[in-house]
Amino acid sequence: MDYFWIYDIPLFYSFLLVVGSITLFSIGGIFITKPFIARWWEGHDNNDQIAFYLSAIGVFYGITLGLLAAGIWQNFEDADDKVTTEASSIASLYRNVSSLPDPKGAALKEKLATYTHYVIHGAWPLHQQGITVTDGTRLLNAFQNELYTFEPKTQREMALFQEAIHQYSKTIEYRRQRLSSVESGMPDIVWLVILIGGLVTLVVCWMFNIPSIKLHVILNGLIGVTIGSLIYLILMCDYPFRGSLSISADAYIQVYEQLMK
């Protein structure tokens, strides 16, 4: 399901677009179906029966939508934690290699600073388009080759070398987790279930024969806003690196500016 264009719209306008469209659809359906409902029900009051089925549908759909929203938000926070953890690991690794004697220490610091600069200015703009790139692998391989050629001469250098290798391994793992989060998103079948469930809920709401059209519009409008807001939350958090409500590179920027400049 190609909806990625929505991430290029500012947050406020995308919210109005998604929630407003669903709300207008919810209200517009009243005026389309009301003449048919009055004729189909033949003057009978079926609101109690409709309310019973709406309650059943609402429970299943509401729980499903709520759980999806909570799960997507948790995935968003997990991706944010991975980014922060990777940046912290880079900072620790930089401090470790800073303690190694020059020229090896200086060369390692330069290569790690180059990688961090690339993450901020090269990889991150592509992450915001949902693209993962492998240039970072080349830069880390260059750092690894430089690190593994170091020959410790004292116990202190050996301890620093071993800790640097440990931190480097952690950095590689955290980077892998970050990259795996860039293209993560719900399958199309899940979105299909969400949209069908919302449509069924609104169709049942249209079946009520409420004498006051104003009251019917208000009630359906509120339901449309609720469903639209939850769908919008899921949409914005589905891809944690895309859109206005996305994970930023601030953690890497802070490390780069405080340690590497």
At residue 1, the pLDDT reads 56
Is residue 103 in some structural domain? yes
Provide the pLDDT confidence category of residue 185 given band limits of 50, 70 and 90.
confident
At residue 135, the pLDDT reads 81
* Count of the separate structural domains present in the chain: 1
Q: Please state which of the ranges 43-47, 126-130, 161-165, 233-237 shows the lowest mean pLDDT.
A: 43-47
Is residue 90 in some structural domain? yes
Supply the range of the domain harboring residue 127: 79-185+250-261
Is residue 35 in some structural domain? no
Is residue 156 in some structural domain? yes
Encode pLDDT of 138-153 as tens digits: 999 999 999 888 888 8
Question: What are the residue ranges of helices labelled H in the chain?
Answer: 11-41, 47-98, 104-118, 124-127, 135-148, 155-182, 188-206, 213-238, 250-255
Encode pLDDT of 37-87 as tens digits: 877 776 667 878 888 888 898 888 888 888 998 889 999 999 999 999 999
Is residue 19 in some structural domain? no
Q: Dihedral (C-alpha) 130, 74, 193, 199: value to the nearest 10 degrees? A: -100
Encode pLDDT of 6-33 as tens digits: 888 888 999 999 999 999 999 999 999 8
Contact of 79 with 53, CB cutoff 8 Å: no
239: three-class secondary structure by DSSP: coil
Is residue 261 in some structural domain? yes
Is residue 3 in some structural domain? no
Encode pLDDT of 73-130 as tens digits: 999 999 999 999 999 999 999 998 888 888 888 899 999 999 999 999 999 998 888 8
Is residue 176 in some structural domain? yes
Contact of 163 with 99, CB cutoff 8 Å: no
